[in-house]
Chains A and B, each alone.
Chain A
Amino acid sequence: EVQLVESGGGLVQPGRSLRLSCTASGFTFGDYAMSWFRQAPGKGLEWVGFIRSKAYGGTTEYAASVKGRFTISRDDSKSIAYLQMNSLKTEDTAVYYCTRDRVVLVVYAMYYYMDVWGKGTTVTVSS
């Protein structure tokens, strides 16, 4: 069974750091790009960031709201994606989800949609 399990959430003070993990099972993790999303209480979904598979350079993309503060990385040997969150703000409070991304190749362009979601982990930033 394909599965993603997020961990590492919790209560943290503003300005501090937290690292989330996304542990994958049931598929060849290294073959896939991965993303992180979040959902603030009672709000909609927000994309946080993305990391390509090593075959496509392992490069990353970030939302403007987290760029420079958050870093996504991956350890293919452990089938884990990470979200390192620094300089946390109260507005970062949310449920954080990781996703497996499927690539669509169109001519020379690549597009990614999310086909598997984890159940999420809650991050609360408060003093």
Chain B
Amino acid sequence: EIVMTQSPATLSVSPGERATLSCRASQSVSSNLAWYQQKPGQAPRLLIYGASTRATGIPARFSGSGSGTEFTLTISSLQSEDFAVYYCQQYNNWPKTFGQGTKVEIK
């Protein structure tokens, strides 16, 4: 099983600032990596797939990069609606596995 490790666990950011979230895979997942956003009481929402492709309707302030074992999600200028938990997930191998999540909170 591929273990996904996200850092940091919590990120305190002021509105308008840049947020950088990291995700590391225990072995290569190529570019088969997705990022999801989850707000309290809601289902996850797809942000990025293929490591760097924004899903339909996702604002351009969200960007993903990386391949192999190291990945990054960047939110260029945090808006109030972006404070949430973010999960990375690999779909290169079965079982599909998630990182433990990074909570982006208001500083």
Flag if A115 contacts B55 (CB, 8 Å).
Answer: yes
Q: Does B101 contact A (CB under 8 A)?
A: yes
Is B98 in contact with chain A by the CB < 8 A criterion? yes
Q: Select from chain B the residue with minimum beta-carbon distance to A119.
A: B43
B94 engages A61 (CB within 8 Å): yes
CB-CB nearest in chain A for B96: A47
Interface residues on B, range: 20 to 34
Q: Is the CB of A117 within 8 A of B95?
A: no
Residues of A within 8 A of B78 (CB): none
Complex interface residues of chain A between 72 and 127 (CB less than 8 A to chain B):
97, 102, 104, 111-120
Would A45 and B43 count as touching, CB distance under 8 A? Answer: no
Within the complex, what minimum Cβ distance (angstroms) separates A26 from chain B?
A: 13
**A47 to chain B: closest residue by CB:** B96
- B13: Cβ under 8 A from any A Cβ: no
- Chain A interface, >50% SS class: strand
How many Å from the CB of A88 to the closest CB on chain B? Answer: 20
**Number of A-B residue pairs at CB separation under 8 A:** 53
Q: Which chain B residue lies CB-closest to A4?
A: B43
Assembly CA distance A17 to B29 (angstroms): 36
Asked if A111 and B91 make an inter-chain contact with CB atoms under 8 angstroms apart, the answer reads yes
Whether the Cβ atoms of B95 and A63 lie closer than 8 Å is: yes
Q: B87 contacts which of A45, A63, A102, A116 (Cβ < 8 Å)?
A: A45
Contact A118 B43 (CB under 8 A): yes
Report yes or no: B89 in contact with A104, Cβ–Cβ below 8 A: no
Contact present for B34 and A44 (CB under 8 Å): no
Expressed in whole angstroms, the minimum distance between the Cβ of A100 and any Cβ of chain B is 10
Distance (whole angstroms) from the CB of B14 to the closest CB of chain A: 26
Q: Shortest beta-carbon distance, B54 to chain A, in Å?
A: 12
Is A55 in the interface zone, CB < 8 Å from B?
Answer: no
A81 to chain B, nearest CB (A): 15
Cα A118 to Cα B44 with chains together (Å): 9
Instruction: Tell me the minimal C-beta distance from A70 to chain B in angstroms.
Output: 13
